Amino acid sequence: MSSVPAQSWDTLGTVARSTDVDRPMYNRPNVVKSIIAAVERDDSQTWDSSAQEFPPCVRLDFEGLTRFEVVCDQYKRWGVRFDNAIAVTPSNPAYPTHSGDIVLMAAPKSGFLELTFERPVQFVSGYVTSSRFTAMSAYNHLGQTITRGELPAANLANSNSGVEPNQQLIVRSPDIHRVTFYAFDGELVVDDISFGY
């Protein structure tokens, strides 16, 4: 394991890029410490996540990803794996980022992005912009749907939608093993994903 600790909001001198789930926790009493999880590039290093102590809240920093990089195991140190996700810098202004320059796009299959957790988590949050109604579903270890969040309509920027782009969707349950974002034959991007153990 690396001897360099991950950055935490307690050590950063700037304000984080999203809302209450992942804001800086300094100067706030009785709030758990959170971690900003960067991309891991050292393939020679093997992480034993069963022995690792995970922080209560993790926010994934996509800025270390390269454009058009297929995202799968880059955050395995934090106990999460992606399926059908690619890192992009949106060229279409209808899909703005929530923060930074990089978002995850559901690809190569349109409208479907999945996260699988090595250990169960208690919440997952992400900022979604989609061309269609979008469901964020959480599943237990048996693959049963246990909770769901919804984006009621398309929320592209500069459209006639009553829903702003980058809507935060959150699912909460004590036994989340897998989460899917599904845009029902539409296109979707997700930014600033957070989750908590």
Q: Which pLDDT tens digit goes with each residue over 118-150?
A: 999 999 999 999 999 999 999 999 999 999 999
Cβ distance 63 to 102 under 8 Å?
Answer: yes
Which structural domain range is residue 151 located in?
20-196
191 part of a folded domain? yes
The pLDDT of residue 197: 87
45 part of a folded domain? yes
How far apart are alpha carbons 166 and 186 in whole angstroms?
Answer: 15
Token reading at 191: 């930014």
150 part of a folded domain? yes
The pLDDT of residue 35: 77
**What is the average pLDDT score of the chain?**
83
The DSSP-derived string for 23-79 is: S--TT-TT---EEEEPPP--TT----TTTSPPPSEEEE-GGGSPTTPEESSTTGGGT
8 part of a folded domain? no
Domain count, the chain: 1
Cβ distance 103 to 96 under 8 Å?
Answer: no
The pLDDT of residue 182: 98
Secondary structure tally for the chain: helices H, strands E? 0, 11
Question: Taking Cα atoms as reference points, which of 85, 135, 136, 82 lies closest to residue 106?
Answer: 85
Question: CB neighbours of 178 closer than 8 A, spacing ≥ 6?
Answer: 114, 115, 116, 117, 138, 139, 143
13 part of a folded domain? no
pLDDT above 90: residue 170: yes
pLDDT above 50: residue 5: no
CATH number at 37 reads 2.60.120
pLDDT above 60: residue 116: yes
1 part of a folded domain? no
- Res. 33 pLDDT band, cuts 50 70 90: low
Helix (H, G, I), strand (E, B) or coil at 22: helix
Token reading at 47: 């992480």
The pLDDT of residue 195: 97
124 part of a folded domain? yes
- Res. 75 pLDDT band, cuts 50 70 90: very high
7 part of a folded domain? no
How far apart are alpha carbons 124 and 172 in whole angstroms?
Answer: 7
